[in-house]
Amino acid sequence: MLPTADLRDTPMNPPDPLQLACPRCNALNRVPAARVAERPVCGRCRSLLFPGEPFALSTAAFDAHAQRSDLPLLVDFWAPWCGPCRAMAPAYAQAAALLEPRVRLAKVDTEAEPALGARFVIRSIPTLALFLHGRELARQAGAMPLQGIVEWARRQLPPSA
């Protein structure tokens, strides 16, 4: 039987307060779960923790957001030369406003960050991947419209996320 503390910190029951990485400076912040919807700001740089738009994610910052943050992270692996990636970008940006604060949205430029593309064996772009506590929950290749992105992401989330 697991101790109570271990049960509390499963994806089904996220910890309170939540640990969230800042999309601007990558500092880890502790935010009470009840206050996540109140537009919290980073304790270090004072930027919004939920900017309402996807943020660029580097190799150096990836683990702070995908492993150490307590909310699911939806990542768009893309490249600037990719036509379908550019076509999907506005829909993905709009999805951030619909999915936050339940899900964080980030973008990884596979040209600028080839190590991340290799680490996750990205074979085609755009590819969406959903992470929680460092584990990939789901992956979808190909461009999607706004409603497709939102519906797909919501279907992949654990029940209490």
Q: Please report the pLDDT score of residue 4 as a whole number.
A: 33
**Does residue 1 register a pLDDT over 90?**
no
Average pLDDT over residues 58-83: 96
CB 93 within 8 A of CB 63: no
* pLDDT band, very low/low/confident/very high, at 13 (cuts 50, 70, 90): low
The end-to-end CA distance of the chain, in Å, is 24
Residue-range domains of the chain with CATH: 52-156 (3.40.30.10)
* pLDDT band, very low/low/confident/very high, at 15 (cuts 50, 70, 90): confident
Residue type, 4: T
Q: Is the dihedral of CA 88, 94, 98, 102 positive or negative?
A: positive
Residue 132 in 3-state DSSP? strand
* pLDDT band, very low/low/confident/very high, at 77 (cuts 50, 70, 90): very high
CB 74 within 8 A of CB 104: yes
Average pLDDT over residues 15-20: 90
Q: Which residues are catalytic?
A: 82, 85
Write out pLDDT tens, residues 29-45: 999 999 999 999 999 99
Q: Please report the pLDDT score of residue 83 as a whole number.
A: 98
**Does residue 86 register a pLDDT over 80?**
yes
* pLDDT band, very low/low/confident/very high, at 16 (cuts 50, 70, 90): confident
CA–CA separation, 99 and 150 (whole Å):
7
Per-chain mean pLDDT for the chain: 91
Average pLDDT over residues 90-113: 97
Average pLDDT over residues 125-138: 96
